Structure 1
Amino acid sequence: MSGWLAIAGLGPGDAALVTPEVGAALAEATDVVGYVPYVARVAPRAGLTLHASDNRVELDRAALALRMAAEGRRVVVVSSGDPGVFAMASAVFEALEAGPSPWRALDIRVLPGITAMLAASARAGAPLGHDFCAINLSDNLKPWTLIEKRVRLAAEADFAMAFYNPRSRARPEGFARILALLLECCGPARPILFARAVSTPEEALCSMPLGEARAEMADMRTMVILGSSTTRTIARAGQPILYTPRFVAAGA
């Protein structure tokens, strides 16, 4: 088959953070498939067809991309950040596994991108400098009880935590419950970062002790990072630096 499928991460927002590998795939593509705001980040050109679709239809767009690649087209499925982190790579492979067997012979590549989690951490310093975990707070595809269980266990294990999709208009109460849980498990002094729209003109960073955090400080464009018990704050003019040391004392 002459067609191929690339599952690409467009990074957190700034075009300068799109990798050369992803840029090269987009330059060769005949079709780009993705969620409306992500497809809008791809410049139109002759010979390129943009297929934008709404949220929550990931499997439909994955199947469309696989069908077009099987027809010999050069297809790029775009996600923000990295396509393998709460994004389209898993959806494509779910559709591949459930689809016709000839699809498995396709040339399929996953092209990594800079995640919102890593971009936010870099802006703040290095709060993910030691062991950490990432948790998606959306309960669209998993039960809320599982989210709370994972947050509680991550707090017990003393991970730094990066939270995706913290608060939407459809579920504004969930993040307030998570903050209350974290306060119970970690105490009020733990540093927390709210990093909104990192690398875009709307970028805004704010860090504070956990006890001062409020649910309304986050929305769906916000990456929330909670430090571990060892995460430190370096005060200075402007935004303080947050970092988690590379070591943990024996017996901690």
Structure 2
Amino acid sequence: MSKRAADALAAAEVIVGYDTYLGLIADFLPGKKIIGTGMTQEIDRCQAAVEEAMAGRRVAVVSSGDPGIYGMAGLVLELVFKYPPALQPVVDIVPGISAIGAAAALLGAPVMHDFAVISLSDLLTPWETIVKRVEMAAAGDFVIALYNPKSTRRISHIEQVREIVLRHRPATTPVGIVHHASRKDESVVLSDLENFTREHIDMFSLVIIGNSRTYTAAGRMITPRGYSL
């Protein structure tokens, strides 16, 4: 968490978020009005946050990582702009530390060249669209970062992604898996394209698949930028 994010939470009168994420910031909650909801209730909690702000309260809507990367920033803005300009509260989007940034730092330097970030969650995006994006990213030799790579319901999607990427790059391509990046139960695993799905992967994991030039050295994953050494 950045200092600016911590300051925003400290200054808020109301904190709104997914229950799991609220549990990660328990130290900031005492003395605040808390609005928490479960998974798939994003619209309800963001609407409640907008209404609290329209009533004149300082509200913090919490996302894990960065609110503008698979977070709540977009939904909050969409809801705010449904109201006449005179009623719209001021929205200040505080950048955070994204999972891709945190995971990359733990792995070494895997995203030093062009990369694609793709979520494997098909709750809001059709799986056929996700497959197409993976195919294009693999064909374009992008480093590929996978958010929401595997859940208890989606156990085969990550295997399909592996098969797609194997058509475009060697089985020995380095793959990094970071679980709970920058949190208490953080873990880092280096594997390869052939074997990485045998590792523990869940919704708290981020998977980074290297491009054709990515290599490992001394336990670090490195994608060359192209400098002549």
Q: TM-score, normalised by structure 1?
A: 0.85
Match of 1:90 among 70, 74, 79: 74
Superposed displacement of residue 201, structure 1: 2.7
Gaps of 5+ in 1: 1-17
Q: Which has the higher contact order (CA 8 A, sep 6+)?
A: 1
Match of 1:112 among 89, 95, 98: 95
- The CA deviation string for residues 164-199 of structure 1, in whole angstroms up to 9 with x for no partner, is 000001111111111111112222021111111122
1:54 equivalent to 2:38? Answer: yes
Matches within 5 A, 1:1-252: 18-42=1-25, 43=27, 44-46=29-31, 48-97=32-81, 99-102=82-85, 105-214=88-197, 217-234=200-217, 236=218, 240-247=219-226
Distance 1:181 1:111, change over 3 A: same
The 1-side partners of 2:24 and 2:174 are apart by: 33
Task: Give the secondary-structure state (helix, strand or coil) at the position aligned to 1:223.
Answer: strand
The code of the aligned residue for 2:225 comes to R
The code of the aligned residue for 1:36 comes to D
- The CA deviation string for residues 101-141 of structure 1, in whole angstroms up to 9 with x for no partner, is 24763210100010111111000111001111100110000
Distance 1:209 1:106, change over 3 A: same
Q: For the Cα contact (< 8 Å) 1:193–1:207, is it kept in 2?
A: yes
RMSD between aligned alpha carbons?
1.6
Q: For the Cα contact (< 8 Å) 1:31–1:50, is it kept in 2?
A: yes
The code of the aligned residue for 1:241 comes to R
Q: TM-score, normalised by structure 2?
A: 0.93
Distance 1:243 1:216, change over 3 A: closer
The 1-side partners of 2:38 and 2:184 are apart by: 24
Distance 1:233 1:216, change over 3 A: closer
Task: Give the secondary-structure state (helix, strand or coil) at the position aligned to 1:134.
Answer: strand
State which drifts further: 36-45 or 144-153. Answer: 36-45
The code of the aligned residue for 1:73 comes to R
The 2-side partners of 1:246 and 1:140 are apart by: 35
Identical counterparts, % of pairs: 36
The 1-side partners of 2:190 and 2:24 are apart by: 29
The 1-side partners of 2:23 and 2:196 are apart by: 33
Q: For the Cα contact (< 8 Å) 1:70–1:103, is it kept in 2?
A: no
Distance 1:172 1:104, change over 3 A: farther
